[in-house]
Amino acid sequence: MTALPGQSIAAALWAAGILSWRTTRAGGEPRGAFCGIGACYDCLATVNGRPNQRACLVAARPGDAITTQEGTGHADLAV
């Protein structure tokens, strides 16, 4: 997938037709970008193995691994 220089991960995902990249903790409902300014936390994604990254605020970089965040994103981490 490609992204423009300075483009956020959320914008790059939208441009690629991906509208949901997280599920809620209760119920597993799909979520994606909502406010687009980092206030609502609906756009959380796992970026390069780090959960809870706000995709609307993080700039896309070459080689980034963006994965769907399930719930809190900590299920398989030793936290």
Give the confidence band of 1 by pLDDT, cuts at 50, 70, 90: confident
77 has pLDDT over 60: no
What pLDDT digit, counting tens, does each position of 3-55 carry? 999 999 999 999 999 999 888 888 888 989 999 898 988 899 999 999 999 99
For residues 60 and 12, the answer to whether their CB atoms sit within 8 Å is yes
CA distance 65 to 61: 9
Q: Is 17 exposed, middle or buried (0-12, 13-18, 19+ CB in 10 A)?
A: exposed
Give the confidence band of 76 by pLDDT, cuts at 50, 70, 90: low
| pTM attached to this predicted model | 0.82
Give the confidence band of 79 by pLDDT, cuts at 50, 70, 90: very low
DSSP SS3 for 9: helix
